[in-house]
Each structure stands twice: as structure tokens, then as C-alpha cells.
Amino acid sequence: MSGDIATIAQQLGAAVELTMNPAIPMEQRHQAFNQLEEFKENSPYGSQCGFHLVASSESPVVRHFGLKILEDVVKARWNTMVGEEKVFIKDSLMKLMSSGTGHLTVEHLFIKDALARIVVELVKREWPQQWPSLLQELDTLCRQGETQTELVMFVLLRLVEDVALLQTLEQTQRRKEIYSELTANMEQIFTFLLGLLEKHYGAYKASGNEEHCRVSMAIVNTFTALVEWVNIQHVMANEKYLLRCLSHLLSDPRLQLAAGECLLGIVGWKAGKMTERAQLLCLFETDMM
């Protein structure tokens, strides 16, 4: 079967390249496009071929198509999928998060975004009931290095956007369950993110490495998605440590815009009472400024 998968994947990759080649007549490109669409809709080997394309192709466009197949499979077939295939997809996705992309400074953003999008689609269907170890697994990934940490930030950012900000999750009950689980784990999530920010910003200031700067920015962007709706006690925790960090980052040319946007989200916080919002006046204290 592995030989068949490799053959099919090779044919799919050739079709993808053909559709993107402007030198090929439009009719042939249209035929190749229809071939790809027919495969996505009808083939029982979608997940296997998707992972094969991502792992074996050197073409970013073909790898992205492999990820798109995986996203479509999860969205369209997850509820009717057998348990063995669900486990295969979940385990294979976490392997991709661990070692399936290039280094964060060279990997294409659209590849990283596509991978994060699939993981989020899986989270929407499995967490917390069928995937109670999710947060621990994300923490383990972050311990592997900067590339994995940035991917984890992309996953958390998109999850928060889909569930709490944009509310694009169509199933109301699932959105409520995930929102509730995020809220219940928010103290742990803030502690986790602050630890990462301290680690990577410290490494960036000590070495000037680009990867640590990028990870720091991804962490701040994740905070920005959180601070608009979480309980203000998380923002004010540990003697306003997050606010102090963000105020300090305003002096860094590479990170000041991201930090400023996060602070803007905090001062625009409307989720609580006026007395709670009054705590934000601390931003005008001398040690903050």
C-alpha cells in the first residue's frame, strides 16, 4: 500500500505543479485542477497522501496542497472516520509540528499557517474530551526549540481567534465547551506564555538571534488575542508582570509595535466592571512609564 500511496502522491504533486504553470494551456491546467478536486472529494487515501506530500516534496506549493488535503479530510470526514485513522492523523500532525517544517527563519509563512490551521481544526473536534493532554503536548513541543514554539503560538492564536474573538466555530455547543476549557486553564496558559516570553526575549537580548526575536513577537501576538476577553485578574497577576513586560518591550525597535498593539487591547478591555477597568490606571504610574 505504501508504494501505491507514493505513486498517487507523485501524480497529485505533478498535477499541482501543472495547475500553477502559466506556460501550460488553460485547458490542461483546468483538467489537472479537476483531477485534484475529484481526489479530495472521493479518495479514501486523502490523509495518507496528504502526509506523504508534506513529507516528501521539496515544492512549497505541493506541500501546501498536502496540508490542504489534510484540512479538508478533518473538516469533512472526522465524525465518520474510524478510530485508527483518527489516531494516525493526530499522531502524524504532532510529528509534523515537531519536525515536519523547515527552520522558522526559512519556512514559508503559508506552510506554518496551514499546519496550525489543521491542528486547530483537530482541537475543535477533540479537546478537551478526547484530547485532555493537549496543553501538555504543546508545552513539550515548545521545549524542543524555537521553530516548534512559534508553531505552537500560531495554533493558540488561531484557536483563540476562532473560539473567542471571531467566533467562527459553527457548532455553538462545541464553542462553549472549548471557551469554557480555555477559561478554566487561563492561569496556566498565562504562566506558560510569560515563561516563554521571558526565556526567548532574554535570549534575544543576549545574542541578538533572529529566531528568538520572532518567537517573542509570536508570543506577544498570542497575548494580544487573549487580553481583549480574559478576566483582568490574569493581566494583573504577579504584580502586573505582563504589563511591565509590555512596557519594557516598547523600547525595543523590533517588538515595540507588537507590544503597543497588545497594550491597546488591554486598555480597550470591556469584559468587566468599571471598578475592574480602573486598575488599568496603573499604566500611568512612574515605574510603568
Confidence of residue 53 (pLDDT cuts 50, 70, 90): very high
Distances (CA, A) of 220 to 27, 160, 260: 47, 14, 10
DSSP state of 1: -
More confident site: 287 or 151 = 151
Mean pLDDT of the chain: 93
pLDDT mean over 205-227: 96
pLDDT reading at 109 higher than 80: yes
In whole angstroms, give the CA distance from residue 91 to residue 76. 19
User: Distance between CA atoms of 122 and 163, rounded to whole angstroms?
Assistant: 13
pLDDT of residue 282: 74
Give the rounded percent of residues in the chain with a pLDDT score beyond 70. Answer: 96
Nearest to 50 by CA among 75, 71, 67, 72: 67
Cα R_g (the chain), whole angstroms: 21
State how far the alpha carbon of 272 is from the alpha carbons of 188, 230, 241, in Å: 21, 9, 20
Sequence letter at residue 214: R
What does the pLDDT read at residue 145?
A: 97
Q: Evaluate the CA torsion angle 98, 192, 119, 67 in order and state its sign.
A: negative
- Specify which of 149-158, 172-181, 231-240, 277-286 reaches the highest per-range mean pLDDT: 149-158
Longest dimension (CA), the chain: 68
Q: Which three cell numbers stand for residue 188?
A: 496556566
Q: Model-level pTM greater than 0.85?
A: yes
For residue 275, name the pLDDT band (cuts at 50, 70, 90). Answer: confident
Q: Examine the pLDDT at 190 and tell me if it is beyond 70.
A: yes
pLDDT at 289: 57
Work out whether the CA dihedral 134, 127, 56, 29 comes out positive or negative. negative
